[in-house]
Amino acid sequence: MTSFSITLDGRAVDVTPGQTVLEAARKLGLDIPTLCYLERCGPLTSCLACVVKVDRNGAGRLVPACATRVQPGMRIESETSEVRDARRTALELLLSDHVGDCLSPCHRICPLGLNVPRMIRQVQAQRLDEAVRTLREAIALPAVLGRLCHHPCENGCRRGVCDSPTAIRDLERYVADTALRREPPSPEGTGFPRELRQEGHLFPKNRPGPDASSPRSTPPLPAAERASACPPSSGKSVAIVGAGPTGLTAAYHLLRDGHACTLFDRQAEPGGSLRAVDQTTLPRAVLEAETGLIASLGAQFKTATVLGRDVSLGDLERRFDAVLLAPGQLARDEIQALGLESTGTGIRIDVRTFQARAPKVFAAGSALKPIKQLIRAMSDGQEAARCLHEFLSRGEIRPATKPFSSVMGRLEREEIERVRSCGSPAARVEPAGGVEAGLTDAEAVREAQRCLHCDCRAAGDCKLQYYAERYGADPGRFSRQRRLFEQQARHAEVIFEPGKCILCGICVALTRQAGEPLGLTFVERGFDVRVAAPLDRPFADGLRQAAADCVKNCPTGALAFKESSPAGRGGEA
Amino acid sequence: MPTEDLNVVDQIVNRIGRAPDAVIPILQAIQEEYRYLPEAALRRVCELTEITPAAISGVATFYDQFRRRPVGKHLIRVCRGTACHVSGAERVEDALRRLLGIPAEADTDRDRRFTIETVACLGCCTLAPVTQMGHATYGHITAEKLPRVLRDFLARHAHADTAGTGDEEDRQNGASRARINVGLGSCCVAKGSDRLFQALRQAVRDSGAEVTVKRVGCVGMCHRTPLVEVVVPGRPSAFYSGVDPAEAGRLVARHFQPRGLRRWLSRAGTKTLDSLLAGATEEPITRFALGHRDPAVTAFLGKQEHIATQHFGRIDPMDLDEYLAHDGFAALRRCLTDFSAEQIVATVERSGLRGRGGAGFPTGPKWRVVRQQPGEVKYVVCNGDEGDPGAFMDRMLLESFPYRIIEGLAIAAVAVGAHDGIFYIRREYPLAVRRIRAAIELCEGRGWLGARLLGADYPLRLVIKEGAGAFVCGEETALIASVEGQRGMPRLRPPFPAEAGLWGKPTLINNVETLALVPWILRHGSEAFAAHGTQTSKGTKVFALAGKVRRGGLIEVPMGTTIRQIVEDIGGGALAGRKFKAVQIGGPSGGCVPARLADTPVDYESLRAVGAIMGSGGLVVLDDSDCMVDIARYFLQFTQDQSCGKCTFCRIGTRRMLEILERICDGKGRSEHLIELERLANTVTQGSLCGLGKTAPNPVLTTLRYFREEYEAHLLGRCPAGRCSALIRYQISAECTGCTICAQHCPADAIALTPYRRHAIDLDKCTRCDSCRQVCPYGAVEVQ
């Protein structure tokens, strides 16, 4: 038979007989979501995320694209709001029965979005270069924050429900301190004073444990992990008024995006309110080391410069492509003097864009309203930097998108022990050298082992997460009685989490095709259907020769490889 | 389990076979033996056969029939069909659990004496609520009656009650003799007609009268069972309803004089004894007599036309000669001799017959598609997996007219060129299975099935596949999967079974009632059939009329008869003091049609237009004491239980819908829940893979459409029908005389015993079981 033509979203497509609608759509470049489709298994038609609307005698029907064969004259709708709604509902229904978190609670809570469990796995494996990179992706002043943060992440830590939360802040500080110790001298010799790298300045003496060795003996960071690794210049410049936590954070992220930054501060040294912190809690050397890092990224500091006295806002507007006001709290008359509107607590902005005055004046931090918590001030700077980057690179500012995450919610009583067994049973590690000393390498590894790794092994490699994000699926649309968390870890290489299984049937088909002696099967019926090894045998027995194939093709994190080391999770570079 | 026990498994496998599709029959046989499926037995099956562990575990956990835990000595099944639900099945189950000491989360008592199982529908809807104990079925159960029923069951069990349905008896009855016909369908048996049958036989033997006590199929007037017809040649028949087995002797004596003096004397002696025992209050036997001129009987039968149920209540289901004497197999004979296959298909096409199983797909064109398929091997399947709660038409037809269904299936086979036919019958209908099996054997015995169909040069083999308890297997592609020995999971159509069905071969699947109509059409011609019914829906439709109606039963009416005619004229309207509110048509795939639309004619298009479907023909009448939100919740619970679990929309969507409905029934609903419910219902309808999921939201959508104000009342914390237990309170009014009966019957100790003083209900302890209201002789218990 020769090829014929069908209509897909109003476009004519040439197809060959026997082709499925999915194949035809992919030819057009349409990304119809599929979770249960694997070509060599044939259509399993379980997820129904691939529905399209087929017009038949004037009446439209939703059918799975993966199993519907093209017919001459077929008219298909794929990207209409009705079809997308149905797909989104399918995804939301699957998510409503999906027990797991894509991102761990600590990660979701962190206002700066630090991928905590990834960093902890890197600490645990002593792959500190990677840990530093993870940390610095999110946090501008980690050694500072690691000492001062009120750690909301630890309030969300599941380990806290079992005994006490993982010492996330201490681990963060451990990674940051290690990085500072290993930071090579800046080639340009700018900003970062050599003497700060010397032991006596940066770290208390008599530091116990392996870390007591000379910092010079630690190998320098590879180029890629260095904070100073900057992308090519964008050619744009930003004036930042205020070199406190908000301004420094904004500068850090803008510099990393290739924009030149000049920071103006009324004080003689950068740091703003951080300079008021007592030296025991935050040694001056630590603050200076991290502000120095920002300088090494290319930041220009104009200290002892007062806005309105030494430089006017109009000046800055003329000289720079954008201005960010982060000077801390301002009085009403100061705001008015700048020609800006006041809300009563601070500068009035467009809350989504941090824009105070079109086109190029932005404001953030305590200049808007008083901020008590350091991490909030920093997250304001981070978000303002994102807006500025959008403004500078695109001319328009898109609203922030939160990364999608399925949410497991509070633990049930029966789940606490199951969850706790994902980490070492040890009690929370307190630094033997005291709070000022921080964790040693050995202590850090020991504490890292306590982490329960609540995030999903498949995060970033999960079709459900991917399409849920693309379709704006709401994992909380249906309130429900959820299943209990369960993890079957008897298999040598594979971990099975039944709660994350969407019953696509791919592993059942693959084990059958592979001729597994036992294999996997669906058991029960209706809402109670599960994938299991038959005859009440352990799951591990059902998955022998096809194990790797099944893990690779699992559309979610229901099947995942155990790692030889916890940091061995794929794709975590 | 000791190892030697597994020899039984070896024997079962030797008997049934080793191919992958033997899995369901093997599991059924194992369960028959052990009363559950021991793990070791399953392993043994895998060793002995081609059945894989994955297949056996998948199948054993899919079907309701299979138990994986040992069962108590006595198995009690509580029917949760629609009619039973609205008649208080939940209260019956609660009371049974209390009585037997089985906690809510368990199914068996600690001593392993009793196991409770709920079943979707036993198909005895006119006797609701119904409970099956062992092999005995009890109708009109209430919490109050339960102890007595249980005693009766245990007594029957102890005496190994042999009352039968006459199936085991030989058949040598002459047609010209006087007869006493006893309806022996499953419903009738549930009301004790099996014992009446035995008692009449004994009475006839005792009297020596020249009369045959004859088992006949369903009479249809289920509300009057047990029903007895006395037929004396040359005289009008006499009907009796509600006869007690103890009165069998007098009934026989009334119509048939004893033969000899000695017998007369003995009879007279018994009679004297009887009257002495019975005392003066006993009413004469004529109390039970019904005549065709009885207005109720006239009304019940007047509007009916009997095609599928032709000769109802008159012929012995198993008497092959009697079937022949009533034109049986005449149509098949003509199909084999006079008609070409093309002519058969054309006749069925012209008759306008549409499938009676649910969707109403035209039967003739379906036959034509199968007939046109190339290839030698084709299959015909009789779909007897009537799973809709509230429907029992197919059971009755299979039980009462087994030869007619065989004939219909054989005609279909000849028309499409199939040589293998399969009866797929749900296992909840044991009598139907027994009778079809016996009927096939009797036909084979005469050489009419097998190598030469009715002696002609046309081989046709018929086999029976028993379902294992899965509503979804009524869906064609799931049925095929089940016959092939798989989990009953539907697949996307096309390809349709007519093109690629059982084992990938062209397969014709027709519903029981459809096939029951076929012989009549071939005998009388397509025009005669098309003369009944409406423009688009030809012929007649059998309905199971049940619920809150005076005269429930099995009826056959021309298409186009209105709902009002069925409910009011045939059914006699709502029960005393109640108001007809709606009919639920089409079971879990159907909808609720409100009383104000009662003039809707029953035909495929009209019912679809009001949001219901014809379905297989369950018709449950609801009155003002029925809560429509509760009805919607009930059906969602059913479809949710019965979903195969394959596609997202049905597996999770129906569960989320059910959760919303539960919240509303619990008084925790908010207005956004109604919006979400409607939105989700529409998506599940559109997106589900098979008919079960696509129609599952219908009960919700129709009640939202016609009874939205009831949903809204629930949002405000009020259940207008006084049904949803979280929203109602029981109170005792000033009418109370302090008789203490309520306090004695309260299972929750919520009523303090205060003789001669007005009683009061502790609402914290009250479980809303309704016992007090039912027992109060003064009507002093009020529901608010």
* Alpha-carbon torsion angle B350, B352, B358, B361, nearest 10: 50
Contacts of B648 in chain A (CB under 8 A): 46-49, 90, 93-94, 502
pLDDT at B517: 97
pLDDT in tens, B154-167: 887 777 654 555 55
The 3-class secondary structure across B467-494, one letter per residue, is CCCCHHHHCHHHHHHHHCCCCCCCCCCC
Q: Token pair for residue A382?
A: 């981070």
Q: What is the mean pLDDT of residues B637-660?
A: 96
pLDDT band at B293; cut points 50, 70, 90: low
pLDDT band at B300; cut points 50, 70, 90: confident
Residue B108 β-bridge partners? B115
CATH top class, domain A237-394: alpha beta
What does the alpha-carbon distance between residue B725 and residue B773 come to, in Å, rounded to a whole number? 14
Does any CB of chain B come closer than 8 Å to the CB of residue A529? yes
Contacts of B654 in chain A (CB under 8 A): 527
Does any CB of chain B come closer than 8 Å to the CB of residue A515? no
Residue A189 scores a pLDDT above 90? no
Architecture of domain A483-568: 2-Layer Sandwich (3.30)
Contacts of A41 in chain B (CB under 8 A): none
In order of A60, B256, B674, the CA distances from B721 in angstroms are 39, 52, 19
**Whole-prediction pTM value?**
0.89
Architecture of domain A4-79: Roll (3.10)
pLDDT at B741: 92
Pairing of the two strands A361-363 and A355-357:
antiparallel
User: CB–CB of B651 and A529 under 8 A?
Assistant: yes
pLDDT in tens, B63-82: 999 998 888 999 999 998 88
pLDDT band at B49; cut points 50, 70, 90: very high
pLDDT band at B718; cut points 50, 70, 90: very high
Q: What is the mean pLDDT of residues A39-52?
A: 96
Q: Token pair for residue B127?
A: 């006797």
Architecture of domain B178-291: 3-Layer(aba) Sandwich (3.40)
pLDDT in tens, A352-395: 899 999 899 999 999 999 999 999 999 999 999 999 999 999 99
Structural fold of domain B320-530: Rossmann fold (3.40.50)
Q: What is the mean pLDDT of residues B537-552?
A: 92
Domain with CATH 3.40.50.11540 in chain B: 320-530
Q: What is the mean pLDDT of residues A269-294?
A: 94
Chain B residues whose C-beta is within 8 A of a chain A C-beta are: 39, 42-43, 46, 52-58, 61-63, 470, 487, 491-492, 494, 640-649, 651-656, 659, 676, 680, 683, 686-689
Residue B227 scores a pLDDT above 90? no
Q: Token pair for residue B181?
A: 């016909």
Q: How many CB contacts within 8 angstroms connect chain A with chain B?
A: 132
pLDDT in tens, A192-249: 344 433 333 333 333 333 333 333 334 455 544 455 556 788 999 999 999 999 999 9
Residue A39 DSSP symbol: G
pLDDT at B394: 93
Contacts of A529 in chain B (CB under 8 A): 645-646, 651
- Return the percent helix, strand and coil in chain A, to nearest 5: 40, 10, 50
pLDDT at B287: 46
What does the alpha-carbon distance between residue B514 and residue B516 come to, in Å, rounded to a whole number? 5
For chain A, percent of residues with pLDDT exceeding 90: 80
CATH top class, domain B74-158: alpha beta
Find out whether A98 and A556 touch, Cβ atoms under 8 Å: yes
Contacts of B495 (CB under 8 A, 6+ apart): none
H/E segment holding residue B425: strand B420-425
Residue boundaries of the structural domains of chain A:
4-79, 101-225+410-455, 237-394, 483-568
CA distance A418 to chain B (A): 24
Stronger pLDDT, B258 or B342, i.e. the higher one: B342
- The whole-chain average pLDDT of chain A stands at 89
Contacts of A90 in chain B (CB under 8 A): 648-649, 687
Show the beta-strand stretches assigned E in A113-259: 237-241
Q: Which residue in the set A68, A86, A481 is minimally distant from B683, CB to CB?
A: A86
Domain with CATH 3.40.30.10 in chain B: 74-158, 178-291
pLDDT in tens, A400-439: 888 899 999 889 999 999 999 889 999 999 999 998 899 9
Find out whether B313 and B301 touch, Cβ atoms under 8 Å: no
Q: What is the mean pLDDT of residues B540-549?
A: 93
What does the alpha-carbon distance between residue A475 and residue B125 come to, in Å, rounded to a whole number? 42
CA distance A540 to chain B (A): 14
Q: What is the mean pLDDT of residues B38-47?
A: 95
Q: Look at residues A567, A478, A475, A563 and name the one whose alpha carbon lies nearest to residue A102.
A: A475
What does the alpha-carbon distance between residue B193 and residue B184 come to, in Å, rounded to a whole number? 7
Q: What is the DSSP string of B263-305?
A: HHHHHHHHHHHHHHHH-TTPPPGGGGEE-TTSHHHHHHHHT--
Residue B6 DSSP symbol: G
Q: What is the mean pLDDT of residues B680-697?
A: 95
Structural fold of domain A101-225+410-455: Fumarate Reductase Iron-sulfur Protein; Chain B, domain 2 (1.10.1060)
pLDDT band at A258; cut points 50, 70, 90: very high
Domain with CATH 3.30.70.20 in chain B: 729-784
What does the alpha-carbon distance between residue B569 and residue B261 come to, in Å, rounded to a whole number? 49
Q: Look at residues A475, A527, A46, A523 and name the one whose alpha carbon lies nearest to residue B659.
A: A527
What does the alpha-carbon distance between residue B469 and residue B459 come to, in Å, rounded to a whole number? 31
pLDDT in tens, B574-629: 999 999 999 999 889 999 999 999 999 999 999 999 998 888 788 999 999 999 99
What does the alpha-carbon distance between residue B90 and residue B198 come to, in Å, rounded to a whole number? 33
Q: Token pair for residue A241?
A: 């008024």
Phi, psi of B116 (to 5 degrees): -100, 135
Pairing of the two strands B730-732 and B781-783:
antiparallel
What is the predicted ipTM? 0.90
Architecture of domain B729-784: 2-Layer Sandwich (3.30)
User: CB–CB of B53 and A521 under 8 A?
Assistant: yes
Burial annotation B192-229 (CB, 10 A radius, 16+ → b, else e): bbbbbbbbbbebbebbbbebbbbbbbbbbbbbbbbbbb
Domain B540-715 CATH (choose: 3.30.2130.10, 3.10.20.600, 3.40.1050.10, 1.10.760.10): 3.10.20.600
- The whole-chain average pLDDT of chain B stands at 88
Q: What is the mean pLDDT of residues A331-349?
A: 93
pLDDT at B243: 80
Pairing of the two strands B114-119 and B74-79:
parallel
Q: What is the DSSP string of B539-594?
A: SEEEEEEEES-SS-EEEEEETT-BHHIIIIIIT-SSPTT--EEEEEESGGGSEEEE
Place of tokens 């499925």: A20
pLDDT in tens, B409-419: 999 999 999 99
Residue A319 scores a pLDDT above 80? yes
Residue A572 scores a pLDDT above 60? no
pLDDT at B166: 52
Residue A565 DSSP symbol: S
